[in-house]
Amino acid sequence: MGKIDFFSILVVLLLVHGTHVVKSFYGFDELESLDVEDDEIEFLELPSWSSQHGSKVMINVDSFGAVGDGVSDDTKAFENAWSKACSTAKAVLLVPPGRSYLVNATRFKGPCATKLIVQIDGTIVAPDEPKNWDSKNPRNWLHFSNLTGATFQGHGIIDGSGKKWWAASCKKNKTNPCLGAPTAFTIDQSSSIKVQGLTFQNSQQMHFVISHCDSVRINSVVVSAPEDSPNTDGIHLTGSSNVVIQNSKIGTGDDCVSIVNASSNIKMKNIYCGPGHGISIGSLGKDNSTGIVSKVVLDTAFLKGTSNGLRIKTWQGGSGYVKGVRYQNVKMDNVANPIIIDQFYCDSPKSCQNQTSAVEISQIMYQNVTGSSKSTDAMKFACSDTVPCNNIILKNINLLKLDGKTAQTYCNSVTGINYGQVQPSADCLTSSDKSSIEEIEVNDNERLIDKSSIEEIEVNDDERLIHTEL
C-alpha cells in the first residue's frame, strides 16, 4: 500500500471519528513495516553438489545404512546420521536424490552445532498403516526441535502416506472414532530457521507445523494433498513470531495456511491456495480458551476453488483478540466465502451455544480483493453480538458471483468503513453520518488535510519500523 493512500485513510478516519481513532490504528503503522523487500528474503544459495562443498561436512544417510528402497526400515540410519550431523559444525545432512526412504515417527532433537543444513533431495515416506503407528508419537511423524540457525532445503518430498489415515477419520465416516493423526513435519521451539524448496504431500493430518518458533523463513515450498483428505492443513503456525512464507503453492483438504494462538508478525507473500479451505486465522477460542493473533499481512495471493478465502474463525466463549491484519492484492477464482469473519465457528459434531464472551476482532483491512465468488455472500462478517468486530476496512473490493446473480455482504455486529470501489456494497461498514462521506471526497482531493496529524503519524511510523522489522 502506498504511504499516501495509507495516510489518506488515516486522515479520513481522523475527520470522521476524531483524533482518538489514530491511536487505535497504530497497528496499521506497524503493519507497514512488515513489508519485506524481495531481495531481503533471498535465501543463501543452495550449495552445488557437483562442485566443491567448501568447509561443509557431508553426512549422507546412505553412509549410515539407509537403503532407500521405500520398503526397508531406514529409521535407525536417519537417527544415527542425525546424531552425527547435529554434533558436527557446518554439517550437511544429505538425503540423496532418486530414492525413497521409509522412516518411522522420529524426534530429531537439538541443540545442534552451528549452521546445520538438512538437504533433502530424495523422498522420505512414512509407514502407511495407522494400526502399526508408534504409540509413543501418536501425533508426530518427523519432529525437529530446539534448533537455532538451521536450514532445511532441497528438491525432495516429505510424503506422509496418509490414505489409510484419511479413511479412518471420523470426518470420512461417522462410525469411525474421532482420533488425532500425526503431523508430517514439525519444527518446534526453534529460531532462525529457513525452509526452502521442499514438497510436503499426502500427510496423515497437518503437513507442516511451525510451533513455538521465532524467525522462520519459508520459501518456495509446495504442499499437496487431495481436496477430500480430512484436516490436512498445509502450513500451520502456532506460538510463533516473525515468520515469512513466500512463493509457495498449497493445495490440500483443509486450510492452506492456518495461524493460531500466540502468533504475531506473520508475513505471507505470493501464495497460491487451492484446493482447500482458504487462508485462515484460527480457529481460536475453543473451549473458552484465550486466543491472540496480531500483525498478519498477506500480500499477493491467488485462491482457486477453495471453500473459504480470507477467513478469521473463532469459537463462541473464547477470549483474547485478533488485531492488525492486512490482506492485499488477492485474486479469487470460484471461491466460496471469499472474505469471511466467522465468530460462530463450530467444528464439532455437537452444536455450539452462543455465549457472551468472544475473541475480539479489530483492525482488519482488505484491499484490492477481486475475482469470483461461489457463494451469494461474497463478504461475510458474522460477529459476536456482545463483542462486535470493529475497525474493519474495505478498500477496492470487486467480487462477482460466477452465475451473474448479485453477490451480497452479510453483516452482524460489525463496524468499520468502505473506501474506494466496494462491490458488493457493504453498507454496514459505512459511517452512518452522510456528511462524513462528503468529507472523504473532499479529503480525497487533498483539500482538507490536517497537516499536524500527518506529521504525528509519520513520526510514529518511523518509531514502529525500528521495533517490528522482520
Ligand X SMILES: *[C@@H]1O[C@H](CO)[C@@H](O)[C@H](O)[C@H]1NC(C)=O
CB of 77 to ligand X, least distance (A): 9
Question: Using CA atoms, how far apart are residues 347 and 168, in angstroms rounded to an integer?
Answer: 18
Q: Which of these segments, 9-17, 73-81, 208-216, 398-406, binds ligand X (CB under 6 A)?
A: 73-81
Query: Could you say whether residue 329 binds ligand X (CB under 6 A)?
Result: yes
| Minimum CB distance to ligand X smaller for 97 or for 130 | 130
Residues 82-111 that bind ligand X (CB under 6 A): 104, 109, 111
CB of 235 to ligand X, least distance (A): 19
Query: Could you say whether residue 135 binds ligand X (CB under 6 A)?
Result: no
Among 36, 57, 292, 442, binds ligand X (CB under 6 A): 292
CB of 171 to ligand X, least distance (A): 12
CB of 35 to ligand X, least distance (A): 10
CB of 313 to ligand X, least distance (A): 14
| Minimum CB distance to ligand X smaller for 100 or for 355 | 355
Cβ count within 10 A of residue 174: 8
Active site residue 277: yes
| Minimum CB distance to ligand X smaller for 19 or for 421 | 421
Query: Could you say whether residue 215 binds ligand X (CB under 6 A)?
Result: no
Residues 401-460 that bind ligand X (CB under 6 A): 412
Residues 270-289 that bind ligand X (CB under 6 A): 287-289
Residue count, binding to ligand X (CB under 6 A): 35
Query: Could you say whether residue 463 binds ligand X (CB under 6 A)?
Result: no
**Rg value, the chain, Cα:** 24
- Per-residue x/- marks for ligand X, 337-376, CB under 6 A? -------x--------xxx-----------xx--------
Among 182, 317, 324, 338, binds ligand X (CB under 6 A): 317
| Minimum CB distance to ligand X smaller for 21 or for 346 | 346
The answer to whether 120 touches 152, Cβ cutoff 8 Å, is yes
Count how many Cα atoms sit within 13 Å of the Cα of residue 135 in the half-sphere of its side chain.
1
Query: Could you say whether residue 187 binds ligand X (CB under 6 A)?
Result: no
Query: Could you say whether residue 175 binds ligand X (CB under 6 A)?
Result: yes
| Minimum CB distance to ligand X smaller for 290 or for 406 | 290
| Minimum CB distance to ligand X smaller for 51 or for 132 | 132
Among 48, 50, 173, 445, binds ligand X (CB under 6 A): 173
The answer to whether 268 touches 236, Cβ cutoff 8 Å, is no
CB of 286 to ligand X, least distance (A): 7
| Minimum CB distance to ligand X smaller for 119 or for 384 | 384
| Minimum CB distance to ligand X smaller for 350 or for 451 | 350
CB of 47 to ligand X, least distance (A): 27
**Which of 53, 212, 277, 467 is labelled catalytic?**
277
Among 231, 246, 261, 373, binds ligand X (CB under 6 A): 261
| Among 378, 234, 369, 227, CA closest to 298 | 369
The answer to whether 171 touches 129, Cβ cutoff 8 Å, is no
Among 24, 60, 189, 370, binds ligand X (CB under 6 A): 189
Query: Could you say whether residue 75 binds ligand X (CB under 6 A)?
Result: yes
| Minimum CB distance to ligand X smaller for 20 or for 131 | 131
Query: Could you say whether residue 385 binds ligand X (CB under 6 A)?
Result: yes
- Per-residue x/- marks for ligand X, 21-60, CB under 6 A? ----------------------------------------
Could you write out the three-class secondary structure of the chain?
CCHHHHHHHHHHHHHHHCCHHHHHCHHHHHHHCCCCCHHHHCCCCCCCCCCCCCCCEEEEHHHHCCCCEEEEECHHHHHHHHHHHHCCCCEEEEECCCCEEECCCEEEECCCCCCCEEEECCEEECCCCHHHCCCCCCCEEEEEECCECCEEECCCEEECCCHHHHHCCCCCCCCCCCCCCCEEEEEECCEEEEEECCEEECCCCCCEEEECCEEEEEECCEEECCCCCCCCCCEEEECCEEEEEEEEEEECCCCCEEECCCEEEEEEEEEEECCCCCEEEEEECHHHCEEEEEEEEEEEEEEECCCCCEEEEECCCCEEEEEEEEEEEEEEEEECCCEEEECCCCCCCCCCCCCCCCCEEEEEEEEEEEEEECCCEEEEEECCCCCCEEEEEEEEEEEEECCCCCCEEEEECEEEEEEEEEECCCHHHCCCCHHHHHHHHHHHCCCCCCHHHHHHHHHHHHHHHHHHCC
Output b/e per residue, 339-353; b: 16+ Cβ within 10 A: bbbbbebeeeeeeee
List beta partners, residue 312: 281, 341
Query: Could you say whether residue 146 binds ligand X (CB under 6 A)?
Result: yes
Q: Which three cell numbers stand for residue 2?
A: 502506498
- Would you tell me which residues interact with ligand X (CB under 6 A)? 1-2, 73, 75-76, 104, 109, 111, 127, 132, 134, 145-146, 173, 175, 189, 261-262, 287-290, 292, 317, 328-329, 344, 353-355, 367-368, 385, 396, 412
Among all residues, which ones are annotated catalytic?
277
